Amino acid sequence: MSLISIIIPIYNEAKCLETLATRLFSIEKNIEEKFEFIFVNDGSNDETLDILHSFEKAKENVKFISFSRNFGHEAATTAGIDHAVGDAVVVIDADLQDPPELIPELIQKWKQGYQIVYAQRRNRIGENSITKLTSWMFYRVFKLVSHIDMPLDTGDFRLIDRCVAEQLLTCREQNRFIRGLISWVGYKQCAVLYDRDERFSGRSKYNLIKRSLLAMDAFLGFSTVPLRIVLVFGIIICFFSIIMLGIIVVQRIFFAMPMEGYALLTSAIFFLSGVQLFVMGLIGEYVGRIYTHSQNRPLYIIAEQSESLPKGYEARIELLKKAKV
Ligand code: UDP
Ligand code: MG
Supply the residue whose CA is at minimum distance from atom 3 of ligand 1.
Answer: 73
**302 near 68, Cβ under 8 Å?**
yes
Residue among 19, 68, 95 whose CB has most ligand 1 atoms within 8 A, to mutate = 95
Q: Which atom of ligand 1 is nearest to the CA of 203?
A: 20
Per residue in 194-242, pLDDT tens? Answer: 877 777 777 777 777 888 888 888 878 777 778 778 878 888 887 888 8
The predicted-structure confidence for 157-195, as pLDDT tens digits, reads as follows 999 999 999 888 888 888 888 888 888 888 898 888 887
- Ligand 1, closest atom to CA 76? 7
CA distances from 10 to 38, 100, 117, 242 (A): 11, 15, 22, 56
Q: What is the pLDDT of residue 42?
A: 95
Q: Higher-confidence residue: 189 or 255?
A: 189
Ligand with minimal distance to 203 CA: 1
DSSP conformation class of 311:
S
Shortest-distance atom of ligand 1 to CA 205: 20
Model confidence at 126, in pLDDT bands (50, 70, 90)?
Answer: low
Higher pLDDT residue, 196 or 32?
A: 32
User: Is the confidence at residue 140, as pLDDT, over 90?
Assistant: no
Ligand 1 site residues (CB inside 6 A) read 9-11, 13, 42, 70, 72-73, 76, 93-95, 97, 204-206
Closest residue CA from atom 8 of ligand 1:
72
Q: Which residues contact 122 (CB under 8 A, 6 or more apart)?
A: 193, 194, 195
Q: 314-323 long-range contacts, Cβ below 8 Å, gap at least 24?
A: 316/82, 316/169, 317/169, 317/170, 320/166, 320/169
Closest approach atom of ligand 1 to CA 95 = 15
What pLDDT, on a 0 to 100 scale, did the predictor assign at position 317?
Answer: 62
0.85 cut: is pTM over it?
no
- What pLDDT does 41 receive? 96
**Residue of minimum CA distance from atom 23 in ligand 1:** 204
